[in-house]
């Protein structure tokens, strides 16, 4: 049976401006997507929302958020 992926909105501040995207938890991975890019990392012991914000900021640094 296929699993349904639930995407949540996530926002962060980068360089004095808000950036936004969506994130989902898929197994042991947190995935973040924006209109211009995506990133993922393992959950480990970290809060998934905090990880999503961190990934979103990384996308912003790359000009993808």
CB 21 within 8 A of CB 56: yes
Say whether pLDDT at 1 is over 70.
Answer: no
- Please give the distance of CA 26 from its chain centroid, rounded to a whole number: 12
In a domain, 25, yes or no: yes
Give residue 46's pLDDT.
Answer: 86
In a domain, 3, yes or no: no
Give residue 4's pLDDT.
Answer: 84
**3: confidence class by pLDDT, cuts 50, 70, 90:** confident
Give residue 11's pLDDT.
Answer: 97
In a domain, 39, yes or no: yes
Split into its structural domains, the chain has a count of 1
Measured CA to CA, the distance from residue 2 to residue 12 in angstroms comes to 31
In a domain, 1, yes or no: no
In a domain, 2, yes or no: no
Boundaries of domain holding 16: 8-61
For the stretch 5-64, pLDDT in tens is 899 999 999 999 999 999 999 989 999 999 999 999 999 888 999 999 999 999 999 999
């Amino acid at each position: 049976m296929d699993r349904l992926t639930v995407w949540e909105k996530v926002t962060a501040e980068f360089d004095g401006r808000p950036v936004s995207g969506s994130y989902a938890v898929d197994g042991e991975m947190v995935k973040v997507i924006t209109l211009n890019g995506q990133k993922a990392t393992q959950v480990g012991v970290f809060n998934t929302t905090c990880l999503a914000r961190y990934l979103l900021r990384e996308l912003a640094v790359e000009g993808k958020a």
